[in-house]
Amino acid sequence: MRFQRSLLMSFFRQCKDRTLVFAQNVGPLLFIRELFSNPATTGAPWPSSRQLGIKMAAAMPVGGSGLIVELGAGTGVVTQALLDHGVEPERLLIVERSQVLFEYLQKRFPQLRVVLADAADCRDFIPASIKIDAIVSSIPLRSLPFEDAETIVSQWCKLAPHGAWLVQFTYALWGPLRHLSSRFAFQDSAIAWLNFPPARVVLFKIG
């Protein structure tokens, strides 16, 4: 009887350990954990869909030699779409401020430069001499405190003073984008209806 009980306990312990290991390697589960601990900075109920990733990447012109900075990469759906779109890994710089998602991104994309940082501090790790061709942002500008979003966006003009592409997604399906529309030149937009919830991808030109 005692032997059976200890066998059962050991089985449950193993199940628990394996479930924990599994959860640490599954992007959507980590994302949901982040959502509960930091709802405003996570800013979405679920990771971006493949369709949203493809639409964001498609807005990126391929070619060029400058850096493409992805801000708020989360689980890496947009990152993967950028690679699939033909962006060379050496041109990508991935920025994520959640420690858990940063570690996940490092494991998922060992070939990329992934930085654990706040997008508000880009100037600290991107030297002024580096040319930036594009900023691809999943930063939840609408759910962040207004001042924090302003601080992040106001940097983008300094990061890419000579004109660069900016792609941002938003759950606001129409109307101007707070922080962006008054600053940058609108180029194009598309809606990813299959995303949860549907999202609009907006392309701007900086500078």
Ligand X SMILES: C[S@@+](CC[C@H](N)C(=O)[O-])C[C@H]1O[C@@H](n2cnc3c(N)ncnc32)[C@H](O)[C@@H]1O
Q: Which stretch binds ligand X (CB under 6 A): 133-141, 157-165, 173-181, 187-195?
A: 133-141
Number of other CB atoms surrounding residue 124 within 10 Å: 10
Tokens of 75: 């689980």
Distance between CA atoms of residues 192 and 196, nearest Å: 9
Site residues for ligand X, 83-102, by CB under 6 A, read 95-98, 101
Q: Draw the binding track, 138-157, toward ligand X (x: CB under 6 A; -: no contact).
A: xxx-----------x-----
Q: Which of 87, 36, 42, 80 is nearest to 62 (CA)?
A: 87
**∠ at Cα 147 (141, 152), nearest 5°?**
55
Kindly tell me which of 96 and 133 has the beta carbon lying closer to ligand X.
Answer: 96
Q: Which of 60, 98, 90 is nearest to 78 (CA)?
A: 60
**∠ at Cα 173 (153, 122), nearest 5°?**
15
- Using CB under 6 A, which of 80, 118, 142, 150 touches ligand X? 118
Quote the least distance from Cβ 100 to ligand X, whole Å.
9
Kindly tell me which of 140 and 189 has the beta carbon lying closer to ligand X.
Answer: 140
Q: Draw the binding track, 41-80, toward ligand X (x: CB under 6 A; -: no contact).
A: xxxx--xx----------------------xx-xx-xx--
Contact residues toward ligand X (CB under 6 A) are 31, 41-44, 47-48, 71-72, 74-75, 77-78, 95-98, 101, 118-120, 138-140, 152
